[in-house]
Amino acid sequence: MRVVLTLDHAVELTATTLLEPLDIHVPQHWYIPKMLEALAGKVPSLAPHRAGMERLHGHRDHVQHQGIVPSPEDIRLFMAQADSFIRDAVAEVLKRDLDEFSPIELVSDEAAKARLQSAREAIAAGDYRTALRDAAVGFALGSFIWRSQNRGPSSRSGYLARRVADAIGGAASAAAGGGPFAMPDRDRLSQFAQQFGTNLALSGAFAHALQDLLEPVEMARFGVDVQQYSKFHAATPYVGTGWTQKGVEVWVDEDELARLPATEADALAALDFACWAVVQLEGKEP
């Protein structure tokens, strides 16, 4: 089912993206058949693709609204037809081969883009450990501005960290207020609980740890897949970031990197996630 939905979405994105350089505005109420008609009107060589893509769109409606699953033969046909349409459309409109494109091109931050490009080159050379390092650094650099805006005392995660600290400190104080204690002991315990709550609320390490836990949820609001985010962090080394007089500084946990399996599949998945996640964080509002 998901294959049909994904293929139909890819066709729709291709059509809407390629109509723009052809000076055709796509109104919100346009659906795929109308887009394909407009595209074929500007590029007649793409007209033969219309029937197959419209049939795919019809099956998408069946899947989404009626739960009717196409046969394996139909799915294989749709995959081949969608691939052919997308490749031909890109070649005709943009005069470039589809394989020349990379999501790295969509990344705005030049430092992040350079490290992601380095990761791609490392994969091509079979150096998967270096690829994991560069993918992790590229993601850290590309998401640094987002983090600076979404972490700290005034951020949503900073607010939640303070609330949690207050709640724990309050619970400790409440617990100290009762129980079979002698009065001097109760006073000392109460003072300890109050001091504990204050120290907890002021603890930067505690707040930072809580923000680390909350970060996937915050990123999800910007369209980043939480499951893929978790897999990315499991497959890549820790990368720290911070401001210096020279700009953003990064440091990599080389010991952790040395312990990672560093397979080709891990490197490819890490690069793919880093590219799309940075694009999401750079260009999407929650």
pLDDT grade, residue 200 (50/70/90)?
low
pLDDT grade, residue 186 (50/70/90)?
low
Residue 176 in this model has a pLDDT that exceeds 60:
no
Residue 39 in this model has a pLDDT that exceeds 90:
yes
**14 against 192, higher pLDDT:** 14
Residue type, 122: A
Per-residue pLDDT, 284: 45
- Contact between 229 and 219 (Cβ < 8 Å): yes
| Lookup result for tokens 């346009």 | 30
Q: What is the distance between the alpha carbons of residues 89 and 52, in angstroms, rounded to a whole number? A: 14
| Lookup result for tokens 């109509």 | 19
- What values do phi and psi take at 61, rounded to 5? -65, -40
Q: Where are the beta strands (DSSP E) in the chain?
A: 239-244, 247-252
- Contact between 134 and 121 (Cβ < 8 Å): no
Buried b / exposed e over 212-242, threshold 16 CB at 10 Å, is: eebbbebbeebebbeebbeebbebbbebeee
**262 against 105, higher pLDDT:** 262
Candidate from 185-194, 224-233, 245-254 with smallest mean pLDDT: 185-194
pLDDT grade, residue 264 (50/70/90)?
very high
- The CB density around residue 257, as the number of other CB atoms within 10 Å, is 18
In DSSP terms, 250 is beta-bridged to 241
Residue 27 in this model has a pLDDT that exceeds 90:
no
